[in-house]
Structure formats: structure tokens, C-alpha cells
Amino acid sequence: MACDLILALDVPTREAAAPILRQLRGELRWIKIGLQMFTAHGPDYVREVAGLGFNIFLDLKLHDIPNTVAKAVESLSVLPIQMLTLHTAGGGEMMRAARAAQQKHKPDLLLLGVTVLTSMDSAGLNEIGVSAASADQVARLGKLAASSGLRGLVCSPLEVAMLRQQLPADMQLITPGIRLASEAGTDDQKRVMTPAAAARAGSTYIVVGRPILQAPNPAAAARAILGELSHP
């Protein structure tokens, strides 16, 4: 299974993003717009980036009562987005409601269930009353998402191989927590992997932010990562 690259556009302003997007047009297909940019600039910014020719992964991690999440999916369905996240911790009823709204209003939208944030480990889960190890919690939530009709998950690359053994073969696995082999630290991410290793494990997409955004030449950095993915 081929693995593709998504840029996490985690920058403070659209002015900071503009030169990066100009450089990356034609170099990669996917841009992830998260809470920072969406809350700052709103739906029109999603349309603006899509208008540059990028596919949009809207990462809002919806988590509320089932009806509210379903209505949010309905509202967002008018936007030119191809992926949208929600928290699997919201439960099966919430995910089924979201799935029903997606099927009705935007059948080609891929809903992605977020399992355990890559900033969390087993100790962090214990703080919120989850006694299971992070991998076990990911497996539990991943199976719940699949049984609720979701066809994509966001997870750590460290759990991809395990999920490939336990979930339907067509489940798309999107993995943040990617760091280049040359990077000394992992910042706030705790469960990380290199691009090539994530591709070998079975990731469908990897999400990369800082290694591209902070590179002297973002386009060259993206090309290098895509080259690594094509020969993992």
C-alpha cells in the first residue's frame, strides 16, 4: 500500500502560511488545517487553500453529544474538504451519528477517528483514569470506530502494524508523530517514527509539520520526504 504525505499547516497566521503554500504547489497534494488556523481564519480559509489546488484534511477532532457532532458534520459538508476528524472517545453512538450525517450530506468525505493523541503515553492515559496501555486503548478505540462505520483512523505510527492485523484491510491509517532521522528531539510528541518506517508499517498517510515548515526550503524538504516514502 502506497503512503502519501500530508503537511500540517500549523502556523500562526495566513500570512505566514502563504509563502509556504506557494512553494509547495505542485510538490504535494494534501494540506491539514487544524484548530489554530480554522479558529483564526474560518471556513473561508479552507476554501482559499483548496482553491490553490490542495486536498484538505480538516482536523477539528469533533467530540460532543451525537446530535451536535452530526450537525457539525452537516455544517462542514459544504466545505471543499476530503478528510475530517472526530474523537473515537465520544463513543459508538456519536460516531454512528457522524457517519450517517456524512453519508447523507457528503458521501465522498472520509471521517477519521482519532484514537489516542500522539502527545499522550500510558502515563498520560492513567492521569485521566484509563488504566490500559496506550497500544491497548488504541486497539479498543480502533475496533469501536470500525464497527461504527468509520473507514479511517488517526493513530501513532507505532500502532500501525498492530492495527493492520486487527482491523479491516481497507481501513485508512493516518499517522502524525513523524520525525526525520536527523532530528534530535521529538518536541511534544511521545510516540514517533521516521517517514520510511511509518510507510513500512502500513501507514496510508503520514502527517508532517515542523520538518517542512521550519526547513530553509520547504519544497525540497517535502520532496525528500516523498522520496523516502516511495522507497521505504
pLDDT for the residue 181: 64
Q: What is the CA radius of gyration of the chain?
A: 17
Evaluate whether 138 touches 163 at the Cβ level (below 8 Å): yes
What pLDDT digit, counting tens, does each position of 44-98 carry? 999 999 999 999 999 999 999 999 999 999 999 999 999 999 999 999 999 999 9
pLDDT for the residue 186: 46
Distance between CA atoms of residues 27 and 65, nearest Å:
39
Q: Which of 32, 61, 106, 190 is catalytic?
A: 61
Q: Is the pLDDT of residue 9 over 70?
A: yes
Distance between CA atoms of residues 179 and 191, nearest Å:
10
Distance between CA atoms of residues 62 and 114, nearest Å:
9
Question: pTM of the prediction?
Answer: 0.92
What pLDDT digit, counting tens, does each position of 115-141 carry? 988 788 889 999 999 998 888 999 999
pLDDT for the residue 7: 97
Say if strands 83-87 and 110-114 run parallel, antiparallel, or are unpaired.
Answer: parallel
Active site residue 104: no
pLDDT for the residue 64: 98
Distance between CA atoms of residues 122 and 136, nearest Å:
10
What pLDDT digit, counting tens, does each position of 174-219 carry? 998 787 766 544 444 444 678 988 999 999 999 999 999 999 999 9
Query: In sequence order, what are the residues at sequence separation of 6 or more whose Cβ sits closer than 8 angstroms to the Cβ of residue 117?
Result: none
Domains observed in the chain: 4-230 (3.20.20.70)
Backbone angles phi, psi at 17, to 5 degrees: -80, -30
